[in-house]
Amino acid sequence: MLLEFLQLPGNKFFSDIKETPVNNAANLSMFMVNVSAKLREAFETEHPGFGVLDIKARYRGLKYLQETLKILPQKPETIVIDDLAERLVAIGETIHYTSNQIRPG
């Protein structure tokens, strides 16, 4: 249905769109919705109000930590890495709390 709409005469920019890529994009979109719903369920018990933006912030922060650790000349101990990860994730969590609920750094 979407494909037919995009191929109408007035939509010349979409005239060469094929069905398979549109199908793949729709399926990927639904997959991401399902993944984010499961991740929200997993974090909801510890962090009420945890949303999709929180998921993005959490994993982006952890990715930045991974990349930063790669450029260090000497890899820190696992305990230090875990502490850094907890503090980094806590930064993103602060948007849901009032100032007296935020953990001191």
What is the dihedral sign for C-alpha 41, 82, 63, 105?
A: positive
Q: Which amino acid belongs to residue 56?
A: K
Q: Return the pLDDT at 33.
A: 92
SS3 19: helix
Q: How far apart are CA 67 and CA 9, in angstroms?
A: 48
Does the structure show a pLDDT above 90 at 100?
Answer: no
Q: Return the pLDDT at 89.
A: 77
Q: Return the pLDDT at 71.
A: 92
The model's pLDDT over 16-29, given as tens digits with 9 standing for 90+, comes to 667 788 889 999 99
DSSP letter for each residue of 69-98: HHHSSSPPPHHHHHHHHHHHHHHHHGGGS-
Contact in structure between 75 and 69 (CB atoms under 8 Å): yes
Q: Return the pLDDT at 7.
A: 56
The model's pLDDT over 49-98, given as tens digits with 9 standing for 90+, comes to 888 888 888 888 889 889 989 998 998 888 888 888 888 877 766 665 55
Contact in structure between 54 and 44 (CB atoms under 8 Å): no
Closest C-alpha among 80, 82, 84, 105 to residue 94: 105
Does the structure show a pLDDT above 60 at 5?
Answer: no
Q: Return the pLDDT at 30.
A: 94
